[in-house]
Amino acid sequence: MTSPSLNPDETTQALVRRLFRESIRPYIWRLTFAGLCMILVAATTAANAWIMQPVLDDVFLKQDPTMLFLVPAAILVIAAIKGFSTYGQALFLNYVGQRIVANIQVRMYAHLIRADLAFFHGTSTGTLVSRFTHDLQLLRAGIANALSGMVKDSLTLIFLVGVMFYQDWTLALITFVIYPVAVLPIMQVGRRMRKVSTGMQLLVGKFTALLEETFHGARHVKAYGMESHETARASNIVEKIFKLGYKTTKVRNIVHPVMELLGSLGIAFVVFYGGNQVLSGTTTPGAFFSFIAALLMAYQPMKSIANLNATLQEGLAAASRVFALLDDAPKVCDRADAKPLKVTGGEIVFRDVHFAYGENSPALHGVTLTVPAGKTAALVGPSGSGKSTILNLIPRFYDVNSGSLKIDGQDVRDTTLATLRRTIGLVSQEVGLFDNTVRENILYGDPDATDAAIVAAAKAAAADSFIDKLPEGYDTVIGERGGRLSGGQRQRIEIARAMLRNAPILLLDEATSALDTESERQVQTALQRLKQGRTTLVIAHRLSTVQDADIIYVIDAGRVVEEGTHASLLARNGVYARLYALQFENGTEAQPPTCVQV
């Protein structure tokens, strides 16, 4: 990120240098060709102004028959060169602009997909979507307009000014005394545009986040009758976007009356002064009208250059946000001397582990526990006690603050993330299915698996029976987040994925908490097959599902308060026994609502 101590000019220079170094330099040859095309466009534009002199002086006043043919031919040649040059310029510039955006999108996605889990918990989806869409489009427009404005418009202006000086250098000097006055308000507009643009991008991110929340939570919105409330929330943000957008329009367009007044003043003076010169015979009508044509044609590139700073500041504001995202390095990463994890049995050992999500959010306090190799350990306790936090530390979704977490004697922080996570299979209550086919979702466990292995994993997960009944079988697209399947079917697809992964360590995070009795029975059967021969850590609210665990740890307020087997913990008549009694009061198992801290 840019240092806050830098002044705005230094910040702008740093951003421009970085954009050129990282994004523009690889396409320098295409930009060179675009530049050549822009030179031709500028030159032919000036030629159109210059040709007014022979049209008036030679064709109309002198009535030269040769010029009657040469001038139209020259006009056609100029038009052809300008047309093809304009096409080439647009082709090369748009290629570079779109290629830069595409490259940055891929960089951003590759960076974000490797970001810490904490980053996604602290950043709204809408903000991230806004980076990929709104910010990058502003950046593309800023780059394209900057290149076009700085090269084509500047060259066009230079060539046209050249025509004006060629026709009447005295009049040209007098005319251009007026225009530099416009620079000061234009620079001020640019500074304001950068600030306004940053605010607009933040609001667009908030609105995108609101859309995603309400669309994904449409069922709850309707169930609680909150349509009017959500509409009011959306209306509030949209109104802010409107007001800031209108302010952007006012700030951006304030240069127009300045330019119009100065332009009209200059043209009025030229007509008066130049007309007198024609009447006195000091200059010819052709030279005068050529000068006027050049002056009028110079007005448009001057306006474009005047607006360039505002557009450029919008693009730089977007670039600043994009680069800040790319510069936000993950805190959980491989150490320089990290080694591959070598799993011999899969024993997991926590020793005096402390962890906090932030300075004021301690979650674990001196946790010490062991999951023996090839055995099943269960974590039980009240909601928010730290069970899921313990589980999330194993694949290093977060790193411990102090203490150690080892697998087969190797501290997980000393191993590579890739080898650590390859040894772990995860099945959670938040089923991670994608809007793709059943086959592709199962393949997530092992992208190189054969069709036979996919089918075998599905059978082991008791999923083949319903997959075969789907319209396209394994090639059926299951919708966003598996929305076209039932809860039990989604869980069995995820279990099939874990089966295919065939990892020695298995993490089950309340895998059956949201299922009905029949679906839970089917999933539990599949889970029993999945756990065979694997080191398994289970989180469950329903104590009936962990009674057969080799060891049960009772977690309360981030501490291990009890440990033992189901029978020994009941005999102790402590926290576990009270939880068990609460769940099985009246002879039936109560199912408390799930509220897990992640």
Q: Where are the domains of the chain?
A: 8-202+252-327, 333-421+505-514+536-598, 424-502
Protein fold of 8-202+252-327 = ABC transporter transmembrane region fold (1.20.1560)
Name the burial class of residue 239, with classes exposed (0-12), middle (13-18) and buried (19+) by CB atoms within 10 angstroms of its CB: exposed
Rounded CA-CA distance 598/429 in Å is 12
Protein fold of 333-421+505-514+536-598 = Rossmann fold (3.40.50)
Chain-centroid distance of CA 412 in Å reads 30
386 phi and psi, to 5 degrees?
115, 10
Rounded CA-CA distance 101/89 in Å is 18
Rounded CA-CA distance 457/339 in Å is 30
Please tell me the predicted confidence (pLDDT) of residue 4: 36
- Tokens coding 82: 């300008």
Q: Which of 163, 158, 173 is nearest to 301 (CA)?
A: 158
Please tell me the predicted confidence (pLDDT) of residue 545: 80
Rounded CA-CA distance 390/563 in Å is 15
Helix, strand, coil share of the chain (percent; to 5): 65, 10, 25
H or E element at residue 202: helix 183-216
Please tell me the predicted confidence (pLDDT) of residue 513: 59
pTM for the structure as a whole = 0.74
- Does 424-502 match 333-421+505-514+536-598 at the fold level? yes
Which residues in the chain land under pLDDT 50?
A: 1-10, 586, 590-598
H or E element at residue 352: strand 348-356
Q: Which of 145, 146, 148, 140 is nearest to 105 (CA)?
A: 140
First to last CA, the chain: 28
Protein fold of 424-502 = Rossmann fold (3.40.50)
* Helices (H), ranges, 20-152: 28-50, 52-54, 65-112, 117-122, 125-130, 136-147
* 3-class SS of residue 456: helix
